[in-house]
């Protein structure tokens, strides 16, 4: 069983923000794979189904980004999921808008959501997909940047990037993580 987790903040005021790009990616995955995100749990909203003969649980944490680990701990305990069978999709300021990076493991690199997950799982050995949101303009602080929305010129890039996530996941399910990193990084 694979857990595919999109990180973001709950609430209507965060819809469409840079920080919620993980939620946006998960919404597209849910739609294309016809796995409805409908099962409400205390810490997450789930969609349970299958894709390419693989059991899949789509996960949107109901916690705020900085507490995402609470949801992952709850779900790994419930489903008995190995951290290697988790893919976390989230925003990354260190990457330009539209760029993606898939990694098998690694540090939190200053991302508080990932820091929370590493702490809750007790390991940094889980795959993660970073979606580039770019750095803030000189006159904008980081918090305003991540909770801000994409510009009109960035929106087509983001739509294309999120569509690429679907191809990446198909490759990962069929060819494995290493091959997928070689193709998409």
CA distance 29 to 114: 21
Instruction: Characterize the bridge pairing of strands 2-6 and 44-51.
Output: unpaired
Q: Where are the beta strands (DSSP E) in the chain?
A: 2-6, 39-40, 44-51, 54-61, 86-92, 100-103, 128-132
Q: Give which of 33, 63, 62, 61 is closest to 48, Cα–Cα.
A: 33
Q: Give which of 58, 40, 45 is closest to 4, Cα–Cα.
A: 58
Q: Give which of 150, 15, 164 is closest to 89, Cα–Cα.
A: 164
Instruction: Name the active-site residue from 19, 51, 111, 145.
Output: 19
- Residue 19: active-site member: yes
CA distance 81 to 169: 18
Residue whose structure tokens are 């990354």: 92
What per-residue string of b and e applies to 123-152 under the rule 16 or more CB within 10 Å gives b?
A: ebebbbbbbbbbebeeeeeeeebbebebee
Catalytic residues, which ones? 19
């Amino acid at each position: 069983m694979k857990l595919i987790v999109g990180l973001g903040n709950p609430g209507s005021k965060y819809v469409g923000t840079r920080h919620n790009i993980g939620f946006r990616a998960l919404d597209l995955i849910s739609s294309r794979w016809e796995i409805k995100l409908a099962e409400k749990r205390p810490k997450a909203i789930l969609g349970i189904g299958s894709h390419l003969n693989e059991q899949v649980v789509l996960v949107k944490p109901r916690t705020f980004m900085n507490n995402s680990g609470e949801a992952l701990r709850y779900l790994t305990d419930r489903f008995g999921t190995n951290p290697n069978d988790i893919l976390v999709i989230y925003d990354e300021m260190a990457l330009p808008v539209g760029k993606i990076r898939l990694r098998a493991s690694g540090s939190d690199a200053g991302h508080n959501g990932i820091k929370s997950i590493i702490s809750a799982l007790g390991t940094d050995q889980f795959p993660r997909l970073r979606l580039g949101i770019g750095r803030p303009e000189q006159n904008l602080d980081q918090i305003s940047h991540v909770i801000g929305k994409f510009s009109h010129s960035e929106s087509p890039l983001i739509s294309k990037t999120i569509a690429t996530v679907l191809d990446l996941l198909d490759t990962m399910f069929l060819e494995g993580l290493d091959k997928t990193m070689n193709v998409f990084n």
